[in-house]
Structure 1
Amino acid sequence: MQSSSTLFPVALLSAERRGDLSEDVYRIKAGNGPDPTVELAVTRLGLADQRVVQGTPIILLHGSFSNRRFWYSPKGLGLGAYLARAGFDVWIPEMRGHGLSPRNRDWSHNCVAAYARDDLPAIAAFVREQAGQVPYWVGHSLGGTTLAAALGGGFLSEGQVAGVALFGTQVSRRYWPLKLPPVVWGAKMLLRRWGQLSGPRFKRGPEDEPIGLAFESLRWHGLFGRFGDRHQDWWAGLAQVKVPLLAVAGAADAQDPVWACRQLFAQWGDARKQFICLGPEEGFEAFGHVDMLVSKAAQAQVWPLVARWLRESPAAVQRACDASQPLTAS
């Protein structure tokens, strides 16, 4: 499936059949940011026997220390593969220096602000061009935070997003020691010594993360910190977002607790929104931060929920919100 993008240079790295699925891997070089070496790998999944992909486009954004394999394993398992088999047009970007995306020149300085300002708009434009439809976006953890930043900061317009699903995403949790300047100074000295955050070393995942992300987080959680960059308050911007939202939290998620995820949900400006807590009181297992999307229990209880939400029109989402009826797995 050759790229015919007229937006910016795009290379088709591979076009393979993986069992019943087709897997096309593109590398896009938008050149729309201060670092001209940024290149992003984007994998497209579809049914192998379907010559023309016609399903609704879905963009899946992985979290920190991760890559496309969070959504799509080498054995053809995962939410991405599930949605492709359900007839959706699935797109899985890998952020700078993750998976098939090479490290850019200024990799150590990468941060959410750069992802939200430069990368997500380029991905949105490319998928919109190739799919011919406005895509839905699904983000987990840092992927969801980046989505919130892009929308709250106005980097992604409402015309580029049909709807958003956020899993384990919050920016309200407070780390009170980081309100003390000496603690922040010590943390910065330690981070500079490490040079990067190693996922394998800290048993967080297969990928490393740049210290730019950590410095940015320290600024957010500092004494006068806020969710935003030096010029914009993204948190305040979220109140103006007019895009349907599905926000999902895990009852056993200690990293991004339910109460904090609910605060982001409450700040979201669009009335077409639904909050789901994955816990026994709501008829689910007590899901944690990762197993809410990557586990056999998630395959049975959460993946069908996502497919159902994607199939519903905004009007149906509005009706569900008005009736205060939570979505349940079919």
Structure 2
Amino acid sequence: MTQLTFSQSSLFLPYRDGQLHLRQLLPSAPNFARTPILMLHGAMSNGRVFYSQSGRGLACFLAKAGFVVYVLDSAGRGQSLPKISRSMNLGQGEVIREQLPLVQQYILDLHKEASEREGKMPPRQVHWCAHSWGGVLMASALARYEALQHSVQSLVTFGSKRTIKVKSFKKWLMVDLFWNRLAPSMAIGQGYLAATKFGFGMDNETKSSLNQCIDWVQSEDWRDHDDGFDYAKAAKLANWPPAWFIAGQNDTVLGHPEDVADMIGECGFKHIKYTVLSKANGFKHDYGHTDMLTHLDANDDHFPQVRDWYLGFELSVLSD
């Protein structure tokens, strides 16, 4: 397939007392009637896991292939303002209940206006794509809101798990010791988890988001910490879009293939594809938690399969 040139720019949406940053990646001749793609990062991260100024990353790859792509920095992360500080008390519930629905409607409205100017039918749906904990937040929003179940065409996740049940020394070190014990203590002193200061991740975490994530990771109880909404119960009743969960063979803790598979079972997806990126399955590497998105070989390895996943939805519409 011919790779097109693309451009990228920043959009800002008013949100509470600040703004959310949305990176927009446009093909050289964007078709706003085509179903767009929204991407969400995980914990201690931001949208840059999907794109770079130099043109690397899954978002850039898909924009070159002709898709309009949006990458969200959740509140306080990346270029979203204000930045995470001691006074910020937003948790993961605000991403689920407020930020994802807000951005979803913004994208649909933007494409509606652009498509109608060109005399085309606007898209009614958006593809969702996430890395790590972003997949849990997206799945939670989908389980909770019937409107999103209708307006999201598909869900693709990389290394997403709702709980971590795998047992190993590395898991004890990274999760039981650091994430569950040391990180909350550090957050109490700083007022938030200053992950970038200590080189732990791409971005920082609020105390609320950190504590809520810890609770979900080690608990069978999947409930909203603010209003008690039962996501586990809602997931079993949800009209899920087609989903593709991707795990890395060398992702031994943060997105272990067994834990990724557990999330698939917990959600109860009806139309599901599950792939482990490993040499044994024909891929170039046994990929890890982050390099499944950042490895230089990804462009020629599994990224084309992701592109074909999205193209498949367009072909199915044309064949109807």
TM over 0.5: yes
Offset at 1:160? 2.0
Residues 287-315 of structure 1: CA distance to partner in whole angstroms, max 9, x if unpaired? 00001111112222121111011111399
Aligned to 1:37: 17
Aligned to 2:138: 147
Query: Which secondary structure does the structure 1 equivalent of 2:237 belong to?
Result: coil
Residues 9-47 of structure 1: CA distance to partner in whole angstroms, max 9, x if unpaired? xxxxxxxxxx932223211125xxxxx214211121112
Query: Which secondary structure does the structure 2 equivalent of 1:102 belong to?
Result: coil
Identity level (%): 23
Aligned AA (2:103): I
The count of aligned residue pairs is 287
Whether the aligned pair in 1 keeps the contact of 2:10 and 2:22 (CA below 8 Å) is: yes
Aligned AA (2:222): F
Which of structures 1 and 2 has the larger relative contact order (alpha carbons within 8 angstroms, sep 6+)? 2
TM-score when scaled to structure 2? 0.80
C-alpha spacing 1:191/1:299, structure 2 compared with 1 (3 Å): same
Whether the aligned pair in 1 keeps the contact of 2:90 and 2:206 (CA below 8 Å) is: yes
C-alpha spacing 1:217/1:43, structure 2 compared with 1 (3 Å): closer
The within-5 A match list for 1:10-89 is 20-30=5-15, 36-48=16-28, 50=29, 53-89=32-68
Answer 1 or 2: which has greater helix percent: 2
C-alpha spacing 1:55/1:219, structure 2 compared with 1 (3 Å): same
Q: Aligned partners of 1:107 and 1:64: how far apart in 2?
A: 19
Aligned to 1:268: 267
Q: Aligned partners of 2:314 and 2:273: how far apart in 1?
A: 11
Aligned to 2:215: 219
Q: Aligned partners of 2:78 and 2:99: how far apart in 1?
A: 16
Whether the aligned pair in 1 keeps the contact of 2:30 and 2:68 (CA below 8 Å) is: no
Whether the aligned pair in 2 keeps the contact of 1:151 and 1:237 (CA below 8 Å) is: no
Aligned to 1:113: 93
Q: Aligned partners of 1:170 and 1:206: how far apart in 2?
A: 19
The within-5 A match list for 1:89-108 is 89-103=68-82, 108=88
TM-score when scaled to structure 1? 0.78
Aligned AA (1:257): H
The within-5 A match list for 1:128-277 is 128-131=108-111, 132-133=122-123, 134-154=125-145, 157-174=148-165, 188-221=184-217, 226-230=221-225, 231-241=228-238, 242-254=240-252, 255-277=254-276
Whether the aligned pair in 1 keeps the contact of 2:164 and 2:259 (CA below 8 Å) is: yes
Query: Which secondary structure does the structure 2 equivalent of 1:213 belong to?
Result: helix
Aligned to 1:291: 291
Offset at 1:51? 6.2
Aligned AA (1:217): C
Residues 74-93 of structure 1: CA distance to partner in whole angstroms, max 9, x if unpaired? 11221111101111111111
Offset at 1:156? 5.7
Q: Aligned partners of 2:22 and 2:248: how far apart in 1?
A: 28
Whether the aligned pair in 2 keeps the contact of 1:97 and 1:107 (CA below 8 Å) is: no
Runs of 5+ unmatched residues, structure 2:
112-121
Aligned to 1:11: none
Instruction: Provide the alpha-carbon RMSD of the alignment.
Output: 2.9
Query: Which secondary structure does the structure 2 equivalent of 1:149 belong to?
Result: helix
Offset at 1:233? 2.2
C-alpha spacing 1:250/1:127, structure 2 compared with 1 (3 Å): same
Tell which deviates more after alignment, 88-97 or 225-234. 225-234
Q: Aligned partners of 2:215 and 2:247: how far apart in 1?
A: 25
